[in-house]
Amino acid sequence: RAILMALVHFPRGGTPTRRPVLKSTLLDDGRSDPAAIHHALYRLSGGPLVIDTDAVPARLVTVTTPSDPSRTSVDLVHEALLQVEPIASWIREEATALHLRAEVEAGAAYWDDHQRASVWLPDDARTSLYAKAALVGLKPIAREYLRRAVRRATWRRWGARGASVRVTKTER
């Protein structure tokens, strides 16, 4: 389910569409065992079940490996899969997280296009919201964007505490 949801782009106010990702994005998420992800991708790309030799394997994703293996991508085989159950209900259940992931990735792209200036990081409230959400399948640039935003929010929070401590001490 997590892999399939990582392959869905669902911006707020939009409709779900396919979202190709690098295989490394799925592997570097830090939430799942890489061997389990490899096995799931094998099965989702049409690898047969070991216990059921008569079943026709269903291909839900394609795994494309170019000449540079680090650029291996994973994508849904067809946009129509987004309308098929149980995927359609998973999308409805995960809509908020998918919307937030789309926001983070759009913000990260803008931040990257503007020399990664801290002025383009999200405000502390949005950062907190993004950090608390279980955002699966964030692209590397979006993970870095979120890491920097969290670090900045943490520094601001600690700076504010330090300032209030200094004010309290000077008033006594």
Residue 165 has pLDDT above 90, yes or no: no
Predicted local distance difference test score (pLDDT) of residue 135: 81
Q: Does residue 123 sit in helix, strand or coil?
A: coil
- pLDDT digits over 76-122, tens only? 999 999 999 999 999 999 999 999 999 999 999 999 999 999 999 99
Single pTM value for the model: 0.80
pLDDT of amino acid 63: 93
Amino acid at 32: S
Segment 144-154 shows an average pLDDT of 95
> Of the candidates 128, 122, 124, which has an alpha carbon nearest to the alpha carbon of residue 106?
122
Q: Which pLDDT value is given to residue 32?
A: 76
